[in-house]
């Protein structure tokens, strides 16, 4: 009886977790670029971006990650046979990768909160795509559920990654020609 409700809540928190993971690197980019501005603009933007990232990180992203995980565990308790499925084992590997990404974002968040700028905005634009690739992998695995098809999905993710990198390079060229783009 509870299964559809638990699954629905799991999916809702997957969506909100990814929303936070998609937006936080974008705020990191703005924060890094703010440090290239002259004073007092640099300090004003930095303080505003710190507040925005803090609210996003602690009010949306972290709670969503925790709730998503709790509902996922509950689903696995209800359906323990899934743990024997190859697609689920690979999916859990991607989820572990997503947590590594999340913790690295947390580290970058803490650095920027201390005004420590250690990365370029270009690096952050590339970093921003990691969550996209993990999302694609997880969705293909969950929907296809068969080893042969998920291999095609992973190959597709590699192709997607190549296109994303090309898109980032194209955007950089456009931006270099027109800094207001």
What residues does each domain of the chain span? 3-177
Gap between the Cα atoms of 132 and 23, Å rounded: 11
**Which structure tokens are listed for 115?**
């005004």
Half-sphere exposure of 26 (CA within 13 A, CB side): 9
Q: What is the largest CA-CA distance in the chain?
A: 59
pLDDT, tens digit only, all 181 positions of the chain: 899 999 999 999 999 999 999 999 999 999 999 999 999 999 999 999 999 999 999 999 999 999 999 999 999 999 999 999 988 998 999 999 999 999 999 999 999 999 999 999 989 998 998 999 899 888 888 888 865 566 676 777 778 778 888 887 787 788 788 877 6
Binding-site annotation: residue ranges for heme = 10, 91
**What number of helices (H) and strands (E) belong to the chain?**
7, 0
What's the pTM?
Answer: 0.84
Measured distance CA(59)–CA(67) in Å, rounded: 12
Q: CA-to-CA distance for 158 and 129, rounded, in angstroms?
A: 12
Binding residues: 10, 91
Identify whether the C-beta of residue 136 lies closer than 8 Å to the C-beta of residue 160.
Answer: yes
- Grouping H, G, I as helix, E, B as strand and the rest as coil, residue 116 is coil
């Amino acid at each position: 009886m509870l299964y559809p409700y638990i699954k629905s809540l799991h999916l809702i928190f997957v969506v909100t977790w990814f929303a936070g993971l998609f937006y936080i690197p974008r705020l990191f980019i703005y924060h890094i670029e703010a440090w290239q501005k002259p004073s007092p603009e640099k300090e004003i933007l930095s303080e505003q971006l710190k507040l925005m990232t803090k609210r996003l990180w602690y009010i949306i992203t972290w709670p969503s990650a925790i709730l998503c995980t709790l509902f996922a565990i509950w689903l696995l308790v209800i359906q323990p046979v899934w743990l024997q499925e190859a697609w689920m084992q690979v999916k859990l590997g991607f989820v572990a990768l997503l947590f590594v990404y999340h913790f690295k974002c947390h580290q970058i968040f803490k650095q920027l909160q201390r005004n420590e700028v250690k990365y370029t905005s270009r690096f952050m634009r590339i970093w921003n795509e990691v969550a996209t690739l993990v999302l694609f992998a997880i969705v293909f695995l969950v929907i296809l559920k068969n080893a042969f098809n998920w291999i095609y999905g992973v190959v597709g993710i590699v192709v997607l990654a190549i296109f994303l990198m090309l898109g980032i390079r194209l955007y950089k060229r456009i931006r270099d020609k027109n800094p207001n783009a």
